[in-house]
Amino acid sequence: MIDLKFLRENPEIVKQNIKNKFQDQKLPLVDEVIALDLQSRQAKQEADSLRANRNTVSKQIGALMGQGKKEEAMALKEQVQKDAKRLEELEEQEKTLQEKVNQIMMTIPNIIDPSVPIGKDDSCNVEIEKFGEPIVPDFEIPYHTEIMERFCGIDLDAAGKVAGNGFYYLMGDIARLHSAVISYARDFMIDRGFTYCVPPFMIRSNVVTGVMSFDEMDAMMYKIEGEDLYLIGTSEHSMIGKFIDTINEEDKLPYTLTSYSPCFRKEKGAHGIEERGVYRIHQFEKQEMIVVCKPEESPMWYEKLWQNTVDLFRSLDVPVRTLECCSGDLADLKVKSCDVEAWSPRQKKYFEVGSCSNLGDAQARRLKIRVKGKDGKYFAHTLNNTVVAPPRMLIAFLENNLNPDGSVNIPEALRPYMGGKEKLEVVK
């Protein structure tokens, strides 16, 4: 959510930003919110005037009664009663107008960084850099579920009977590999100075609307029936929520946290061959990183965060690239974002395994995450990034470490988490 004062003073900049995000249907909202804000401020001004006048008149009534001027005092009392009724109307009007203003402000997209490429959708995203050599071996690489089945490592049919499509059972060495990757990612981030956390896996609606746009909420979140609780789609949601309505000492920033959680997503609109198996699912586990920092430090942390993911994947012998998200592919709260994509030797292309985002002060403004500095209070900046999200990461891992005989190499960094195993051997 952008600053209302900024919108009031720079409506054309806000409108151009909306155009850059190809959301022209939202252009009328800028003038609408300005008009509603003006009405709200006028109502407040009149209400403040009536309150001040009430205090003055109350003293006058007391003085007149003391002087025996009862008739004049009663006339003033009558005026106070009329003013009280008008004040009640104004307070209700101000509340209604403010709610309308807030509702609209929640749908107007954040101002994107000038460096963001302008484009309508993800087809306009721009490759930044490649890390590692993408290799296509001279033997056929099966679909990832077929690889897992060779190790008796997955059961989609049973999961379908138990929970439906989009769920899975991981078993044996594949389940162990899944947990090993999560544990390795945890320690990898701890070694980089991040504090490890396990957060709540459910959050209230005010936290949901504080961390994401309404469109994201509708497409992702599962609501707990009969309760004001939602299952988290990523631990970023509850980790940023941890700071709701807080005033943080400037000298304690930044907060650098890495968190584990299961994640639950509706995944509306999933389709196509790569949506089979464990590529796009309703439940998965993830290691996340989040930063709460001073505004001037968020660009630096943005660069550090995506680099962490690149370094982790390279330590597991998986080639990756970074992709700058264009304006039309940015969620409304994001200032800047890039995807980390892993190489798929089977598909002969890269696919997304993580996303790094700088949200500026949008989440902090919604959740009232403030910082107390020497020059007063201000809103913090928040950032988040995927460390690793198996089982999707397992697809890249298995394909890039597969041998012609069907076995899978275990990179040295991961062996302590796999009981010292150097290789997974085919079971069937």
Claim to verify: residue 340 and residue 213 sit in the same structural domain: yes
Residue 48 domain-assigned (yes or no): yes
What pLDDT does residue 273 have? 41
pLDDT band at 66 (very low <50, low <70, confident <90, very high): low
Claim to verify: residue 97 and residue 223 sit in the same structural domain: no
Residue 178 is classified by DSSP as H
What pLDDT does residue 307 have? 97
What pLDDT does residue 276 have? 67
CA distance 180 to 291: 25
What pLDDT does residue 271 have? 45
Average confidence (pLDDT) over 85-110 = 91
Claim to verify: residue 20 and residue 147 sit in the same structural domain: no
Claim to verify: residue 94 and residue 206 sit in the same structural domain: no
Residue scoring higher pLDDT (423 or 76): 423
**Final residue of a structural domain among 75, 105, 135:** 105
Claim to verify: residue 344 and residue 319 sit in the same structural domain: yes
Residue 239 domain-assigned (yes or no): yes
> Which of 39-43, 83-87, 180-184 is least confident?
83-87
Q: What CATH number is given to the structural domain containing 61?
A: 1.10.287.40
Average pLDDT, the chain: 92
What pLDDT does residue 412 have? 96
pTM of the model: 0.89
Claim to verify: residue 287 and residue 368 sit in the same structural domain: yes
With b for 16 or more beta-carbon neighbours within 10 A and e for fewer, the 366-387 pattern comes to bbebbbeeeeeeebbbbbbbbb
Average confidence (pLDDT) over 13-26 = 97
SS3 170: strand
For 147-161, how does the pLDDT look when each residue is reduced to its tens digit (9 = 90+)?
A: 999 999 999 999 999
Claim to verify: residue 152 and residue 295 sit in the same structural domain: yes
CA distance 292 to 331: 19
Residue 114 domain-assigned (yes or no): no
Residue 117 domain-assigned (yes or no): no
Q: What CATH number is given to the structural domain containing 250?
A: 3.30.930.10
**Final residue of a structural domain among 54, 76, 105:** 105
CA distance 339 to 125: 9
Claim to verify: residue 50 and residue 150 sit in the same structural domain: no
What pLDDT does residue 259 have? 97
Query: For residue 145, what are its two tokens?
Result: 């579920």
Does 360 score more than 90 pLDDT? yes
Half-sphere CA count of 364, side-chain side, radius 13 A: 24
Claim to verify: residue 343 and residue 293 sit in the same structural domain: yes
What pLDDT does residue 50 have? 78
Residue 82 domain-assigned (yes or no): yes
For 375-386, how does the pLDDT look when each residue is reduced to its tens digit (9 = 90+)?
A: 899 999 999 999
Q: Looking at beta carbons, which pairs linking 221-225 to residues 24 or more positions away fall under 8 Å?
A: 221/266, 222/264, 222/265, 222/266
Claim to verify: residue 299 and residue 360 sit in the same structural domain: yes
Sheet of strand 202-203: strand arrangement: 202-203, 230-231, 222-223
Residue 418 domain-assigned (yes or no): yes
pLDDT band at 27 (very low <50, low <70, confident <90, very high): very high
Residue 391 domain-assigned (yes or no): yes
Residue 116 domain-assigned (yes or no): no
What pLDDT does residue 246 have? 98
What pLDDT does residue 277 have? 82
Residue 275 is classified by DSSP as G
pLDDT band at 245 (very low <50, low <70, confident <90, very high): very high
Give the chain's domain count: 2
For 274-311, how does the pLDDT look when each residue is reduced to its tens digit (9 = 90+)?
A: 456 888 889 999 999 999 999 999 999 999 999 999 99
Claim to verify: residue 69 and residue 161 sit in the same structural domain: no
What pLDDT does residue 404 have? 96
pLDDT band at 218 (very low <50, low <70, confident <90, very high): confident
What pLDDT does residue 251 have? 95
pLDDT band at 52 (very low <50, low <70, confident <90, very high): confident
DSSP string covering 202-260, please?
EE-HHHHHHHS-HHHHHHHPEEPTTSS-EE-SSHHHHHHHTTTTEEEEGGGPPEEEEEE
Residue scoring higher pLDDT (57 or 141): 141
Q: Domain of 316?
A: 122-424
Claim to verify: residue 238 and residue 278 sit in the same structural domain: yes
pLDDT band at 272 (very low <50, low <70, confident <90, very high): very low
